[in-house]
Amino acid sequence: MAGATAAPAADQHPRQADFGADFAAAGLDGTLGPGERPALLLVDPAAAYTEEESPLYAGVQDAVTGMHRLLAAARRHKIPVFLTRVLHEHPGDGGLFARKVPATRVWAKGSPWAEFIPGLEPGTGETVITKQYPSAFFGTPLASLLSAARVDTVLIAGLTTSGCIRATALDALQHGFIPIVAADAVGDRHPEIHASNLVDIKAKIADVETTAGIERYLAARSLLQPPGRPPVPALHDSAPHPKHRTEQDKA
């Protein structure tokens, strides 16, 4: 066809073959390292991603297994635990995000898909953050609560990698918290999207570690606690709900 431009051959773009190597060569390979006062943040561990009838079903059982491991480790080592949920109760909730992603209707009040995945429900003293946008920080008191607990490192797990995990990790960084994403405790609808986002997150936003690596970090940190220093306290000693309280209850 006259005037058409031929598509470039694949071998003309060697950088596309290995994003990680390209980022490293460009100097996009720094690390932050964990701090001394971590908290676990489970982002949207909702049934919408695990129930096949849900429009947001993502087949992320491996990530769910990783979340279970990290939640158990966080409780064992007595670090603060935060969980997010999405809830739409009123007309206009979700704003432009709800218009862009009609599947967010699964977050309507009373929807079974908005419930926590079994085994990942919040426990006593653990804080639930209700959000309406991808980032756990946007429009929520999360940053203030983390600061009040003297947290310096946010261990991030949940769903999904390309959306709420990426947005939350970026906002954690921008709020001055060290973000560490658990590679095998986050997931997405497609493995390729999950993998490419982890590469990009690691290059520009957060440290990316395995669940096993985070477990070792928490265990080593517990062993290194100075004598007489109390463990990181739970944020709340009591709650009106038998299991947890939300940030609205604290107002």
Buried b / exposed e over 142-172, threshold 16 CB at 10 Å, is bbebbeebebbbbbbbbbbbbbbbbbbbbbb
Helices 211-223 and 61-76, interaxial angle, to 10°? 0
* Contact criterion met (CB below 8 Å) for 204 and 28: yes
Listed in sequence order, the DSSP H helices in 153-210 are 166-174, 191-204
From 172, 169, 105, select the one nearest 132 (Cα to Cα). 105
164 a catalytic residue = yes
Place 235 in a pLDDT band, splitting at 50, 70 and 90. Answer: very low
Place 135 in a pLDDT band, splitting at 50, 70 and 90. Answer: very high
pLDDT tens per residue across span 24-57: 788 888 999 999 999 999 999 999 999 999 999 9
Tell if the pTM clears 0.85, that is, is over it: no
Choosing from 159, 164, 170, 206, the catalytic residue is 164
Identify which has the larger pLDDT, 165 or 9.
165
Q: What is the pLDDT of residue 98?
A: 94
Identify which has the larger pLDDT, 12 or 212.
212
The answer to whether residue 7 scores a pLDDT higher than 60 is: no
pLDDT tens per residue across span 214-223: 999 999 987 7
DSSP-derived pairing of the beta strands 207-209 and 245-246:
unpaired
Tokens found for residue 57: 């079903």
Backbone angles phi, psi at 12, to 5 degrees: -85, -5
